[in-house]
């Protein structure tokens, strides 16, 4: 099930994340992904704000989500997160969201590292690359 993931974060569905059908609005899953990748980076020792102070931003270049079963208000979710690959200036986060042991959604986001000043692609900082590779074991 989740044996290849080394990290997950937990999240409780808030009322404002649901729609008129009382299920989580589909666009909110991208917010869940953002929470998960932010927590993942904190877990390996880096906050987005620290990386931004170094002169880098990470922008989402691609996002995908597949929905299997709905989440509802007050559900407890586990979002399993890993980095599938890391290239020169981009990396791919993979997500699986579970509710009560059942996978309800999966997806990915490709992030590109850019210079904070000119918004041009930049090589992912070596300290971050090393931390990711050490954590993921590649």
Catalogue the active-site residues: 19
Return d(Cα 130, Cα 45) in angstroms, integer: 11
* Beta carbons of 124 and 86 less than 8 angstroms apart: yes
Which residues contact residue 69 at a Cβ distance below 8 angstroms, ignoring those fewer than 6 apart?
99, 102, 103, 104
Cα–Cα distance measured from residue 8 to residue 97, given in angstroms and rounded to the nearest whole number: 9
Tokens representing residue 64 in the block: 């995908």
Bridge pairing between strands 90-99 and 7-12: unpaired
Question: CA-CA distance, 35 to 57, in Å (whole number)?
Answer: 16
């Amino acid at each position: 099930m989740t044996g290849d993931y080394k990290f997950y974060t937990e999240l409780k569905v808030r009322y404002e994340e649901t729609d008129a059908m009382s299920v989580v609005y589909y666009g909110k899953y991208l917010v869940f992904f953002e929470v998960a990748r932010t927590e993942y980076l904190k877990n390996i020792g880096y906050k987005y704000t620290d990386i931004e102070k170094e002169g880098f931003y990470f922008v989402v270049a691609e996002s995908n989500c597949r929905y299997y079963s709905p989440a509802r208000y007050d559900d407890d979710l586990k979002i399993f997160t890993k980095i599938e690959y890391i290239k020169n200036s981009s990396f791919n986060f993979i997500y699986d969201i579970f509710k009560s042991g059942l996978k309800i959604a999966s997806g990915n986001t490709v992030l590109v590292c850019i210079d904070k000043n000119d918004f041009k692609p930049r090589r992912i900082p070596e300290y971050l690359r090393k931390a990711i590779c050490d954590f993921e074991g590649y």
